[in-house]
Amino acid sequence: MTATRIRVRGDVPYDVVVGTGVLGELPGMLGDSVRTVAVVHAEGLPEIARPVRGALEQAGRTVHTLPVPDGEAAKEIGVLAGLWSRFAELGVTRSDAIVGVGGGAATDLAGFAAASWLRGVTSVLVPTTLLGMVDAAIGGKTGINIPEGKNLVGAFHPPAGVLCDLTTLMTMPGEDYISGLAEIVKAGFIADPVILDLVEDDPEGAAAPDGTHTRELVERAIRVKADVVSSDLRESGLREILNYGHTLAHAIEKAEDYRFRHGHAVAIGMVYAAELGRLTGRLDDAVADRHRSVLASVGLPTSYGADAWPALRDGMRVDKKARGGQGGTPRLRFVVLDGPAKPGLLEDPDESLLETAYRRISR
């Protein structure tokens, strides 16, 4: 099957290439002037990093592979500082490039390393997980975590291209694959309800990388994100809708010391946002209930601990969407729905509303 090219527009346009055996596209994405490439990859993926290196060396590039910890452990300042030191040792210049290989954490880190090294060098991202393909690697948002919150330190740095080889999904652990489905379902609720129809048509297939609709689900979700970020690179307006479910999700991840799967947290966060929409009269019962049914059908969680609310409420105070309020207290902003594919904002909701919505999703 031929590769699909999805264009991300903007000041620095680039392609997201989806298909099988697409690594041959990598040298061309980097450009003819790049001679040295630092390949930053999750240390648990040497079997995927090797063909990336091979494709680059076959094209005459000098390649250095730099393994980083798997998962969120990669997105720490110490790991980033280690990469900076290695770039200096290797003599990486502004005419060289960085390739990020792995899940969303690895590509976030590699992207930020590229954005911050010498004030910005070329990067290409090769996501190997479902979450990375449909979300993290697209849009130019890069960053790391600090103890106070997730992705609070970062930069906007669009890559020169993104390569999504669907064969890598076959090696993913089942729970990790299902976790990535949360971002696909999110795309369905905020912009493309056909995604929801496809999941409901075959939930068992949706939960597997070899499902009947897998490629269509991936491409539809990528198109949703590409369309949004093309219109709003720096999250000044429309792009905020991509954070549907993420306000509570990031608080859950912080409370769990980032050992909780991102997609699982987003699934719970979407159910919470649906309850906020229902309680404010903006979302009808059928669509609110559909959140639970669609997410549960593929094995995603829809509730969280009843006693966790105080910690979660405190964690939401440092959400990136919050705005300054009276006395320096941040005013929360939630993305909510007014219907399928009709996202909007709920600003500074009453504390009693926030707690009532949480009680509806707690267990």
Q: Which residues are catalytic?
A: 119, 141, 183, 225, 235, 239, 243, 246, 250, 262
What is the residue-wise DSSP string for 242-285? GGTTHHHHHHHHHHTTT-S-HHHHHHHHHHHHHHHHHHTTSS-H
Tell me: is residue 65 an annotated ligand-binding position: no
Tell me: is residue 104 an annotated ligand-binding position: yes
Tell me: is residue 246 an annotated ligand-binding position: yes
Tell me: is residue 217 an annotated ligand-binding position: no
CA end-to-end distance (rounded Å), the chain? 45
Tell me: is residue 75 an annotated ligand-binding position: yes
Tell me: is residue 160 an annotated ligand-binding position: no
Tell me: is residue 256 an annotated ligand-binding position: no
Sign (positive or negative) of CA dihedral 238, 242, 248, 252: negative
Is there a contact between 138 and 296 (Cβ–Cβ < 8 Å)?
no
Tell me: is residue 171 an annotated ligand-binding position: yes
Tell me: is residue 150 an annotated ligand-binding position: yes
For residue 158, which of 183, 122, 131, 126 has the smallest C-alpha distance? 122
DSSP state of 129: S
Tell me: is residue 105 an annotated ligand-binding position: yes
Strands 36-42 and 62-68: what pairing? parallel
Tell me: is residue 70 an annotated ligand-binding position: yes
Cα 22 from Cα 25, distance rounded (Å) = 6
Tell me: is residue 72 an annotated ligand-binding position: yes
Tell me: is residue 93 an annotated ligand-binding position: no
Q: Give the position of tokens 């105070």.
A: 317
- H-helix or E-strand spanning residue 24: none
Cα 108 from Cα 311, distance rounded (Å) = 26
Residue 5 — left, alpha, or beta (φ > 0 → left; ψ -120 to 50 → alpha)? beta
Cα 266 from Cα 54, distance rounded (Å) = 36
Tell me: is residue 262 an annotated ligand-binding position: yes
| 337 strand-pairing partners | 343
DSSP state of 18: E
For residue 214, which of 175, 191, 180, 246 has the smallest C-alpha distance? 180
Tell me: is residue 107 an annotated ligand-binding position: yes
E strands, 20-148, where? 36-42, 62-68, 97-102, 122-127, 141-146
Tell me: is residue 208 an annotated ligand-binding position: no
Q: Amino acid identity of 79?
A: V
Annotated binding site for Zn(2+): 183, 246, 262
Annotated binding site for NAD(+): 70-75, 104-108, 128-129, 141, 150, 168-171
